[in-house]
Amino acid sequence: MSTDLSQQLPQSNPKLAESLPLRILVAEDNVVNQKLMLQVLKRLGYQADIANNGLEAVESLHRQPYDVILMDIQMPEMDGIEATRRICQDWKPEERPRIIAITANTVEGHREMCLEAGMNDYLSKPLRIEQLAQALVNSCC
């Protein structure tokens, strides 16, 4: 996500959150990427919580429910794959959030690995706002 998203922000839909209210957790260890993700979500009308790694994401989910987790794959302490497996183990399918992989590592087979771990969708960095908006819409329906 280390790209200039400002060019894409005018295409945002600040009313998306009104028509599709979601509790969102961003699991991302890079502070710059966290800020960019929060800015993009804000342009869609959302506020989100931050987890600095997969372990914090799992702990956050124990404290409160989320509808969607935007999960970076490569993080310290617990990566996104392991965090997703833990969430799938600890929560029934109907109780757990939709997990959207966000990764810059787009090697062949990586998407399949994320989906096999239990993630529901897969987006690659640099993230485009319209892709994120579509993934959020898909997360509810």
Residues 6+ apart with CB under 8 A from 79: 54, 73
Is the pTM of the predicted complex or chain greater than 0.85?
yes
Confidence of residue 15 (pLDDT cuts 50, 70, 90): confident
Supply the mean pLDDT for the chain: 87
Going from N- to C-terminal start, the domains of the chain cover: 19-140
Of the candidates 99, 136, 97, 134, which has an alpha carbon nearest to the alpha carbon of residue 116? Answer: 99
**What average pLDDT score do residues 17-31 get?**
95
**What average pLDDT score do residues 103-127 get?**
84
Model confidence at 112: pLDDT above 90: no
> Sign of the CA dihedral 114, 30, 137, 57?
positive
**What average pLDDT score do residues 64-80 get?**
94
Q: What pLDDT score was predicted for residue 141? A: 62
Q: What pLDDT score was predicted for residue 127? A: 82
Beta strands 121-124 and 48-51: pairing type?
A: unpaired
Of the candidates 5, 86, 95, which has an alpha carbon nearest to the alpha carbon of residue 53? Answer: 86
Instruction: Note the CATH number of domain 19-140.
Output: 3.40.50.2300
